[in-house]
Amino acid sequence: MQGSALLLRMRGLQRLNEVSTSKIPKEPASRMVTILFDGIAYGMLLFILACGLSVTLGLMNFVNLAHGAFALAGGYITATLMNRAGFSFFLCLPIAFLFSALIGVALERTLYRHLYDRSHLDQVLFTIGIVFMTVSAVDYTMGSGQQMINIPTVLRGRIDLLGGSIGVYRLFIIVICGLLTLLLQLALVRTRFGSRLRAAVDDPRVARGLGVNVNLVFAVTFAIGSGLAGLGGALGAEVLGMDPTFPVKFMIYFLIVVTVGGASSITGAFFASLLLGIADVAGKYYVPKAGAFIIYAIMVLVLIWRPQGLFVKGATR
């Protein structure tokens, strides 16, 4: 299947190896701290990027391979606004959230909702189609290059912490994502909306019977999930890179988070993200040649061992 340069670049998920890591110190103990720290930052980023997907899958049993497109939207709007209109980075973060959330809810209301009761095969085909279209369209309109996001000077540089050298920007990511995670958890546990969502995830039919407007709950959730992905895209562009093939390159990572964490459980997805982030960074540092291989192998093993996910209570649901 020869053809376009775009296609050639879409090939090769191995380019994931390019995820940049901080400068790693030489001394073993401080090196560990740095790697752990980078891993946590990376993991939290993955969580913010993927948590929407985990709810989609848990709530509507909908396999959305195009989830990365929302992150793409967030990353691109940020880069565009900063580079062409001189917006500040901090202002762009909420914009990225809103922008992706809007796209998400628009797609959900117009297209996705027709697919909830379709087979997984149809869902896969449809969302692959969306990915193909997104990647080509973005390439066409914005070019195929990496989007540069110049993070503000305050977030640059490194500080020494616990004997390791830590990038300020990574610290920023951890703080932001950590806060968001807490917020999400609180919203799920403490609010009426959260309890409705949990009821709907548990059993949509029963929830409907209890008078929960499952469609509305889902639309809102979908919007928030997409928005978070957009925010993740904006935050992560610096760390993960941001070019038109982003949705393909990270699709597998999002799916790992969701399947290993167990669909429908936010905490499961959170731990899976951290695990994946740390394992990926450490793997690429300590065993650079086998890194991704090990991750895929672990994923396959976990899926066989516990098809419902590693962090789901009770093997069956």
Partner 1 sequence: MTDIAAAAAVPQISPAADARLMLAAAARWRWWEFAVWIAALAAIVVFPRNLLLLNEIAILALFALSLDLILGFAGIVSLGHAAFFGVGAYAAGLLGKFGYGDPFLGLAAAAAVAAVLGFATSFLLLRGSDLTRLMVTLGIALMLLELANREAWLTGGADGLQGVTIGPVLGLFDFDLSGRTAYLYSLGVLFVLFLLARRIIHSPFGLSLRAVKQNPLRARAIGISVAVRLVAIYTLSAAFAGVAGALSAQTTQYVSLEVFDFIRSADVMLVLVLGGVGYLYGGIFGALIFKLMQDYLSAITPQYWQFWIGLVLVILVLAGRERIGAQLTRLFAPLLRWRRA
Which residues in this chain contact partner 1 in the complex, by CB under 8 A?
Answer: 1, 3-8, 10-14, 57, 63, 111, 114-115, 118-122, 124-126, 128-137, 139-140, 248, 251-252, 255-256, 259, 263, 289-290, 292-293, 296-297, 299-300, 303-304, 307
Least spacing, CB of residue 1 vs partner 1, in Å: 6
Distance CA 172, CA 169 (A): 5
Dihedral sign, Cα of residue 180, residue 186, residue 188, residue 191: negative
Least spacing, CB of residue 304 vs partner 1, in Å: 5
Least spacing, CB of residue 21 vs partner 1, in Å: 19
What is the rounded (10 degree) CA torsion for 225, 131, 98, 243? 120
Helix (H, G, I), strand (E, B) or coil at 6: helix
- Going by C-alpha positions, the residue among 222, 242, 214 that lies closest to residue 102 is 222
Nearer to partner 1, 81 or 130 (CB): 130
Helix (H, G, I), strand (E, B) or coil at 262: coil
Paired residues of 158 in beta bridges: 167
Nearer to partner 1, 148 or 287 (CB): 287
Nearer to partner 1, 55 or 256 (CB): 256
Categorise residue 302: left if φ over 0, alpha if ψ from -120 to 50, beta otherwise: alpha
Dihedral sign, Cα of residue 20, residue 11, residue 272, residue 268: positive
Least spacing, CB of residue 257 vs partner 1, in Å: 11
Nearer to partner 1, 167 or 247 (CB): 247
Q: What angle do CA 205, 210, 216 make, to 5 degrees?
A: 70
Secondary element (H or E) of residue 312: none
Nearer to partner 1, 80 or 144 (CB): 144
As a whole number of Å, the end-to-end CA separation of the chain is: 42
Least spacing, CB of residue 24 vs partner 1, in Å: 21
Nearer to partner 1, 8 or 162 (CB): 8
Least spacing, CB of residue 219 vs partner 1, in Å: 19
